[in-house]
Amino acid sequence: MPGWNRTVEAVQRQVEAMAAEVFEVGLFKPDAHDGEAVMVPRVWDRDSLARSVPWLRHQNRDGRNIYIRPKGEHHLSLIDDLTQDAIGQMKIAGFSPALVVETSPGNFQAWLKHPERLDKEMGTAAARALAQRFGGDIGAADWRHFGRLSGFTNRKEKYRDATTGLHPFVKLVEAGGAVYPAAGRFLKEVVQGIESRQREEEERRAVRASVYSPHIQALKSIDVFRADPRYGGDGTRIDLAYAVYAIAHGRTEAEVEAAIRSRDLSHKGSERRQHDYVERTIKKALAATERNR
């Protein structure tokens, strides 16, 4: 069983470098047939994950992509869709990854290890700042994004070899597991950025409150919009109408996002597509409220 042994070794090295106690594993099959789940989630510790490699290999051969992330808030940031040159630039700048995975030929994911656990807001801000700095995928930059698990094949059809019919393996390139040298300085910058955005949002909220809310009043929840027959149950129209109303009445973008995500958005597609949908809705609402000022 040489193939099985190589996969187990790759999995063990990756989870050791990630250094979480418990992981969420996602088995994604976008072209699942009727009756099949598009995403099959599992929560495992390191030992359970290693023991599950034969089953994961079977699911991978059946067309499922295998993804992994730490469970809950954690001390890692994933940067997706990087070039080899970008990895080199990260190292020169003091951002040496704890883990590098080649997800398809010439395309890489890097996990950076922070010296401390980051909460959701900090984790997302750090991931976005890193993606912007090194040319990663902004749409995949948040505190809980899945990365690929090495040792299995990338089942995206565009990567299948037309001659052999085979899909490329997800390869473990580096797995040193160390905290990156620039962590202290970078995290201070992230905190400063969060504080600056919070001040700006508070200022905008105060202005909107003075323009639209001359007296304190209870604001309508998104459920009121969902029950409004004018929208005919159209979730997209409801989300935008609520977002315009809420932002005009001083709600923060984070509060609006939480309200929109209180309904199931899985029909929008992957987590990245859901994130893009929410972001577009809030941007439209911001533009609408600015026009009406």
Q: Cβ distance 166 to 98 under 8 Å?
A: no
Mean pLDDT of 182-203: 91
Is residue 211 pLDDT above 60, yes or no? Answer: no
Is residue 168 pLDDT above 90, yes or no? Answer: yes
**What pLDDT is attached to residue 53?**
96
pLDDT in tens, 77-119: 999 999 999 999 999 999 999 999 999 999 999 999 999 999 9
In what order do the strands lie in the sheet containing 99-104?
74-82, 107-118, 99-104, 171-174
User: Which residues, including other chains, have CB under 8 Å from residue 127's CB and lie 6 or more apart?
Assistant: 77, 78, 79, 141, 142, 143, 145
pLDDT category of residue 202 using cuts at 50, 70 and 90: confident
**Closest C-alpha among 255, 259, 246 to residue 286:** 246
Q: Cβ distance 101 to 15 under 8 Å?
A: no
DSSP, collapsed to helix, strand or coil, labels residue 79 as strand
- Tokens representing 181 are 């040298």
Q: Could you tell me where the DSSP H helices lie in the chain?
A: 2-18, 46-51, 53-61, 84-92, 120-134, 183-212, 222-226, 235-248, 253-260, 271-291
pLDDT in tens, 31-84: 888 888 999 999 999 999 999 999 999 999 999 999 999 999 999 999 999 999
DSSP, collapsed to helix, strand or coil, labels residue 100 as strand
Q: Is 100 exposed, middle or buried (0-12, 13-18, 19+ CB in 10 A)?
A: buried
pLDDT category of residue 208 using cuts at 50, 70 and 90: low
User: Which residues, including other chains, have CB under 8 Å from residue 159's CB and lie 6 or more apart?
Assistant: 104, 105, 167, 168
In what order do the strands lie in the sheet containing 39-45?
39-45, 22-28, 65-70, 147-148
Domains contained in the chain, CATH given? 2-181 (3.30.70.1790), 186-291 (1.10.1240)
Lowest mean pLDDT, pick from 13-17, 155-159, 217-221, 282-286: 217-221
Neighbours of 77 (CB within 10 A): 32
Q: Cβ distance 182 to 95 under 8 Å?
A: yes
Q: Residue type for 22, please?
A: V
Proportion of the chain in helix, strand, coil states, percent, rounded to 5 = 50, 20, 30
Mean pLDDT of 207-228: 71
147-148 and 65-70 strand pairing:
antiparallel
Q: Residue type for 29, please?
A: K
**Closest C-alpha among 194, 205, 280, 292 to residue 240:** 280
Round to whole Å and give the CA distance between 257 and 279. 8
Round to whole Å and give the CA distance between 137 and 81. 6
